[in-house]
Amino acid sequence: MNLSPEWVPVLLEHGFDAVHWSSLGAANAPDSEIIGYAFQNQCVVFTHDLDFGIILAHSKAGGPSVLQVRTNDVSPKHLSAAVVTTLNKYREVIEAGALVTVDEFKSRIRILPI
Protein backbone atom coordinates (compact mmCIF):
# COMPACT_ATOMS: atom_id res chain seq x y z
CA MET A 1 0.00 0.00 0.00
CA ASN A 2 2.98 2.31 0.35
CA LEU A 3 3.75 2.31 -3.37
CA SER A 4 1.47 3.82 -5.97
CA PRO A 5 -0.79 1.65 -8.15
CA GLU A 6 0.97 3.49 -11.02
CA TRP A 7 3.66 0.82 -10.71
CA VAL A 8 1.31 -1.89 -12.02
CA PRO A 9 1.20 -0.78 -15.69
CA VAL A 10 4.94 -0.08 -15.64
CA LEU A 11 5.71 -3.62 -14.48
CA LEU A 12 3.15 -5.15 -16.85
CA GLU A 13 4.68 -3.23 -19.76
CA HIS A 14 8.03 -4.85 -18.99
CA GLY A 15 6.62 -8.36 -18.85
CA PHE A 16 6.08 -8.83 -15.12
CA ASP A 17 2.79 -9.96 -13.64
CA ALA A 18 1.75 -7.25 -11.22
CA VAL A 19 -1.18 -6.36 -9.01
CA HIS A 20 -1.54 -3.71 -6.33
CA TRP A 21 -2.57 -4.93 -2.89
CA SER A 22 -5.52 -2.50 -2.94
CA SER A 23 -7.22 -4.77 -5.48
CA LEU A 24 -6.61 -7.87 -3.30
CA GLY A 25 -7.10 -6.93 0.31
CA ALA A 26 -7.78 -4.28 2.90
CA ALA A 27 -5.67 -1.14 3.00
CA ASN A 28 -5.03 -1.73 6.69
CA ALA A 29 -4.10 -5.41 6.31
CA PRO A 30 -1.22 -6.44 8.54
CA ASP A 31 2.11 -7.16 6.89
CA SER A 32 1.73 -10.80 7.90
CA GLU A 33 -1.40 -11.09 5.73
CA ILE A 34 0.35 -9.57 2.73
CA ILE A 35 3.43 -11.74 3.10
CA GLY A 36 1.24 -14.82 3.63
CA TYR A 37 -0.68 -14.09 0.44
CA ALA A 38 2.57 -13.58 -1.47
CA PHE A 39 3.99 -16.85 -0.15
CA GLN A 40 0.87 -18.87 -1.02
CA ASN A 41 0.59 -17.35 -4.50
CA GLN A 42 4.32 -17.26 -5.35
CA CYS A 43 4.36 -13.48 -5.63
CA VAL A 44 7.12 -10.99 -4.96
CA VAL A 45 6.31 -8.25 -2.46
CA PHE A 46 7.34 -4.89 -3.92
CA THR A 47 7.48 -2.31 -1.15
CA HIS A 48 8.98 0.78 0.40
CA ASP A 49 8.30 -0.69 3.85
CA LEU A 50 11.40 -2.13 5.53
CA ASP A 51 9.25 -4.25 7.85
CA PHE A 52 8.99 -7.03 5.24
CA GLY A 53 12.74 -7.60 5.33
CA ILE A 54 12.60 -7.72 9.12
CA ILE A 55 9.78 -10.28 8.97
CA LEU A 56 11.84 -12.47 6.62
CA ALA A 57 14.89 -12.24 8.86
CA HIS A 58 12.98 -13.16 12.02
CA SER A 59 11.03 -15.97 10.39
CA LYS A 60 14.06 -17.43 8.60
CA ALA A 61 11.62 -18.19 5.77
CA GLY A 62 12.70 -19.11 2.27
CA GLY A 63 10.06 -16.89 0.72
CA PRO A 64 8.37 -14.94 -0.56
CA SER A 65 10.89 -12.71 -2.24
CA VAL A 66 10.74 -9.06 -1.28
CA LEU A 67 11.89 -6.16 -3.44
CA GLN A 68 12.24 -3.08 -1.27
CA VAL A 69 13.07 0.38 -2.54
CA ARG A 70 15.23 2.65 -0.39
CA THR A 71 14.85 6.16 -1.70
CA ASN A 72 12.66 9.16 -1.00
CA ASP A 73 11.22 9.40 -4.51
CA VAL A 74 9.51 6.07 -5.13
CA SER A 75 7.60 7.16 -8.21
CA PRO A 76 7.79 4.98 -11.31
CA LYS A 77 9.06 7.95 -13.29
CA HIS A 78 12.07 8.25 -11.00
CA LEU A 79 12.83 4.62 -10.17
CA SER A 80 11.39 2.35 -12.87
CA ALA A 81 14.65 1.93 -14.79
CA ALA A 82 16.49 0.73 -11.68
CA VAL A 83 13.64 -1.57 -10.62
CA VAL A 84 13.15 -3.14 -14.05
CA THR A 85 16.89 -3.60 -14.54
CA THR A 86 17.18 -5.31 -11.14
CA LEU A 87 14.18 -7.56 -11.77
CA ASN A 88 15.58 -8.66 -15.11
CA LYS A 89 19.17 -9.09 -13.91
CA TYR A 90 18.24 -11.17 -10.85
CA ARG A 91 15.09 -12.89 -12.10
CA GLU A 92 16.25 -16.43 -11.27
CA VAL A 93 17.46 -15.48 -7.79
CA ILE A 94 14.22 -13.63 -7.07
CA GLU A 95 12.17 -16.60 -8.26
CA ALA A 96 14.14 -18.83 -5.86
CA GLY A 97 13.76 -16.51 -2.86
CA ALA A 98 15.62 -13.29 -2.08
CA LEU A 99 15.48 -9.99 -0.29
CA VAL A 100 16.37 -7.34 -2.86
CA THR A 101 17.08 -3.73 -1.97
CA VAL A 102 17.11 -1.12 -4.73
CA ASP A 103 17.90 2.58 -4.87
CA GLU A 104 18.81 4.89 -7.72
CA PHE A 105 22.42 3.75 -7.80
CA LYS A 106 22.67 0.12 -6.76
CA SER A 107 20.91 -3.03 -5.72
CA ARG A 108 21.72 -5.57 -3.05
CA ILE A 109 20.60 -9.20 -3.02
CA ARG A 110 20.35 -11.46 0.01
CA ILE A 111 19.40 -15.06 -0.67
CA LEU A 112 16.66 -16.45 1.57
CA PRO A 113 16.57 -17.57 4.25
CA ILE A 114 18.52 -14.80 6.00
Split at pLDDT 50, 70, 90, the class of 1 is confident
Query: Is 79 contained in some domain?
Result: yes
Which residues constitute the domain of residue 77? 7-111
Look at residue 1 and tell me if it is in a domain: no
Q: What order do you get walking across the sheet with 107-111 strand by strand?
A: 45-47, 66-69, 98-102, 107-111
Percent of the chain with pLDDT over 70: 100
> Is residue 2 assigned to a domain?
no
Please tell me the total count of domains within the chain.
Answer: 1
Per-residue pLDDT of 10-65, as tens digits, reads 999 999 999 999 999 999 999 999 999 999 999 999 999 999 999 999 999 999 99
Question: How far is Cα 106 from Cα 114, in angstroms, rounded to an integer?
Answer: 20
The pTM of the full predicted model, rounded to 2 decimals, is 0.94
